[in-house]
Every structure is written in structure tokens, then in C-alpha cells.
């Protein structure tokens, strides 16, 4: 099975998994990226079963609308039943690195609101220790150099993702070679740097469940404690 076939399988499995939650007033949170795109395409098949979606990026909002799915503003929503999104890496505690698609801030906001976070990945994303994938950090543009110096003090090597402006008008620093032994602590530490909007560690609000596509089928993973 190719990586794309594994992504397709988890996207379809995610729709089946959330189907019992879908009611006429249900709002679904939808992530960003190639796996999330396949989920959106599969979700279109059950669009008559739920009310609307909240999107984690402009790209996702457009794809949802193209399928005829109503996209609503998060501020008009009291509850998101479930959020489905991909990840760049996950560990056995279902802590994630996200932001490869530069949508980390809106992704983290939607994940925070959602009652359940279902992460959809293929098996290439599984790691024991987070950090092989460079950690994305969204930064207010005028603070870019200052934040880069502070991130270097934490032991990482920040690289400016040139030419990328987030949906919020900010820039991305990708932090290479960061030793992430305590993801929850590091998430908070980076957030405390003035000028940082969000970082791509999802450890304080991890996934509740990971659906992982493997060559042998889809595995359902929970925190290994």
C-alpha cells in the first residue's frame, strides 16, 4: 500500500468513526493538509447528516464549500463535537507536531474547542521522540529575529520559512534539531516567548485518538500511558 492509499484509508475510517456523532445540529471541525483534504472529500458523502463545519484554514474552508458543506465562523458556534486533522508526527502519548501546512494556530484553536480530537495519519508519522520533523512556530513578523534568537537559546536551529504568510498574516520559523524530551513543558516555554503566536506542539491538548493507516489496514491508537 502506498502512503497515499494509507491516507485515503484513514480518511474514510474517520468518516465512519464520526458518523454516530452526526446530527442535524452537529458542527464538525476540519483540519488542513493532504490527509485532511481526503477526509473532506469523504465527508462530503455524509454532508446531509450534519449542520456545518468550522475550518482550520482558508484552503480547507474553500474545499468544504466546493463540496457544498456550510462553513461557519467559530465565534458563532457553542460546541464542536469532533475535530479531525492530520499531523506531521505523533508519539505514543498522542502528542503531535503540526504546522507543516502553516495552519497550526487555527488548528490549535479548533482542537481546543472540540470535544474530541481524531488525528488521521499514515504510519510514517509515528515516532518515539518528537522532533525529527522541524517544529513550526508562528511568529508576529516584527519579532522574527528576536524569537529566532530565543529559540536558539532553547537548543534549536530556527529556519525562516521564506515566502510563507499564514492566514493570520504572520510568519513561520521551523525549528530544527530541537530535543523534545518534555513536550508539554516545551510547548509552554515556547509560547512564553514574546512575539510567538503559537507553536506546533500539541501536547497540552493532544489527540484523543489516532487513526493510523498501515499497509495492513487502519489501527486505532490511544495514549499508551
Catalytic sites, residue numbers: 107
Is there a binding annotation on residue 45?
no
Q: How far is the CB of 204 from ligand 5RP (least distance, A)?
A: 16
Is there a binding annotation on residue 124?
no
Q: Is 156 in the site for ligand 5RP (CB under 6 A)?
A: no
Q: Report the residue from 10, 22, 30, 31 that binds ligand 5RP according to the rule CB under 6 A.
A: 31
Measure the CA angle with vertex 225, ends 127 and 130; round to 5°: 25
CB-hemisphere CA count at 13 Å for 88?
20
Q: How far is the CB of 4 from ligand 5RP (least distance, A)?
A: 10
From 73, 86, 139, 113, select the one nearest 205 (Cα to Cα).
113
Is there a binding annotation on residue 125?
yes
Grid cell at residue 12: 474514510
Task: Map the footprint of ligand 5RP across residues 101-140, applying CB under 6 A.
Answer: 101-104, 107
Report helix, strand or coil for 122.
strand
Q: Report the residue from 18, 50, 53, 100 that binds ligand 5RP according to the rule CB under 6 A.
A: 100
Is there a binding annotation on residue 87?
yes
Note whether 1 and 215 are within 8 A (CB): yes
The residue (of 145 and 168) whose beta carbon lies closer to ligand 5RP is: 168
Q: Is 99 in the site for ligand 5RP (CB under 6 A)?
A: yes
Grid cell at residue 109: 484553536
Task: State the pairing for strand pair 135-139/196-199.
Answer: antiparallel
The residues binding ligand 5RP (CB under 6 A) are 31-35, 85-88, 98-104, 107
Amino acid at each position: 500500500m502506498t502512503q497515499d492509499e494509507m491516507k485515503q484509508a484513514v480518511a474514510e475510517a474517520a468518516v465512519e468513526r464520526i458518523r454516530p456523532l452526526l446530527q442535524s445540529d452537529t458542527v464538525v471541525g476540519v483540519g488542513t493538509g493532504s490527509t485532511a483534504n481526503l477526509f473532506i472529500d469523504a465527508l462530503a458523502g455524509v454532508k446531509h447528516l450534519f449542520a456545518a463545519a468550522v475550518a482550520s484554514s482558508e484552503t480547507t474552508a474553500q474545499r468544504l464549500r466546493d463540496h457544498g458543506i456550510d462553513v461557519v465562523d467559530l465565534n458563532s458556534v457553542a460546541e464542536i463535537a469532533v475535530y479531525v486533522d492530520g499531523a506531521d508526527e505523533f508519539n505514543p502519548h498522542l502528542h503531535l507536531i503540526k504546522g507543516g501546512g502553516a495552519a497550526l494556530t487555527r488548528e490549535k484553536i479548533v482542537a481546543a474547542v472540540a470535544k474530541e480530537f481524531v488525528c488521521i495519519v499514515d504510519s510514517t508519522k509515528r515516532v518515539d521522540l518528537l522532533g525529527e520533523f522541524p517544529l513550526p512556530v508562528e511568529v508576529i513578523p516584527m519579532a522574527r529575529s528576536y524569537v529566532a534568537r530565543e529559540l536558539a537559546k532553547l537548543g534549536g536551529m530556527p529556519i525562516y520559512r521564506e515566502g510563507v504568510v499564514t492566514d493570520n498574516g504572520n510568519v513561520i520559523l521551523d525549528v530544527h534539531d530541537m530535543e523534545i524530551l518534555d513536550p508539554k513543558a516545551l510547548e509552554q516555554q515556547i509560547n512564553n516567548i514574546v512575539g510567538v503566536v503559537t507553536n506546533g506542539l500539541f501536547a497540552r491538548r493532544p489527540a484523543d485518538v489516532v487513526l493510523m493507516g498501515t499497509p495492513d489496514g487502519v489501527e486505532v491508537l490511544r495514549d499508551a500511558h
